Amino acid sequence: MKHFLVLLCMTLLSHLCADTLKIAVGAGYKKPIVEVLKAYEERGYGKIDAMYGNMAQIFAHAKQMEIALVIADKKFLEKQKELSFVNYQNIGTGIAVIAYAKGVSFDSIEDLTNEGIKSIAMPEAKKAIYGDAGMEFLNNAKFYDRVKEKFLVVATVPQVSSYVSTHEVDVGIINLTAALDSIDKIGGYIKIPQAYYTPIEIVAGSLKACENDKACQNFLMFLQTPQAKEIFVKYGL
């Protein structure tokens, strides 16, 4: 009897886990999505399991798990070949910024080339959209050759934010969302002019598993509500 109950509990737990909606989110958007998920669950719509990481990590996990939805930059989702998306729903626009540490004098993008700026952190271009945008900016502004020796390349936007917050680097290229989240820990930020990089469209990309999943469709509708949009605006999207 005891053995039977254990098996029954395991079966029920497996069933519950299988029914839980699973989504993947670009690491740079963790804070707004955490807040959106909290609001979603507080309204009684059910729990959602979210994993966060750079694009390489997300694609690796999505191939191994039944991920229904990926929230990230549309360009990265469209050009990858590991996953097949059936629809994209717009969430907002990503804005690239240069964040600088407390005590660092930084007034314009041209200050990147100043001798006083000794280190620049940025996410890896192949794994994070703001690394890609950062490289576009540096090349288009003709700064790359003048600052390449200052680079510290890491995997994710949150890592860059952490380095700037602790003044392990002087400046970092991140998104406005991350800069606003760390505003009390950094010296400030300057927006990179849009003309220097390709526009960043943040979307919820639906995979095949989302099409007939009621929970996934409900969450997509919630992302369009005033409550969700207010959260995204608060975080610079």
- Could you give the CA distance from residue 154 to residue 229 in angstroms, rounded to a whole number? 30
Provide the edge-to-edge strand list for the sheet that holds 200-207.
48-53, 21-26, 69-73, 200-207, 85-94
**How buried is 149 (Cβ within 10 angstroms: 0-12 exposed, 13-18 middle, 19+ buried)?**
exposed
Query: Which of 173, 150, 153 lies closest to 161, judged by CA?
Result: 173
Q: Which fold has domain 96-196?
A: D-Maltodextrin-Binding Protein; domain 2 (3.40.190)
The CATH label, of 3.40.50.2300, 3.40.50.300, 3.90.1150.10, 3.40.190.10, for the domain at 2-93+201-234 is: 3.40.190.10
**Token couple for 149:** 């020796």
Cβ contact 91:228 at 8 Å: no
- Could you give the CA distance from residue 164 to residue 119 in angstroms, rounded to a whole number? 10
| pLDDT per residue as tens, the chain (237 positions) | 544 433 333 333 333 344 689 999 988 899 999 999 999 999 999 899 999 988 778 887 777 778 899 999 998 899 888 888 999 999 999 999 999 999 999 999 999 999 999 999 999 998 888 999 999 999 999 999 999 999 999 988 999 999 999 999 999 999 999 999 999 999 999 999 999 999 999 999 999 989 989 999 999 999 999 999 999 999 999
- Could you give the CA distance from residue 48 to residue 219 in angstroms, rounded to a whole number? 9
Q: Computed over its alpha carbons, how large is the radius of gyration of the chain?
A: 20
Could you tell me which residues are beta bridge partners of residue 48? 21
Domain range summary for the chain, segments of one domain joined by +: 2-93+201-234, 96-196
Asked whether the CA dihedral 227, 231, 234, 237 is positive or negative, the reply is negative
Query: Which of 33, 68, 69, 72 lies closest to 54, judged by CA?
Result: 72
**Token couple for 133:** 């945008």
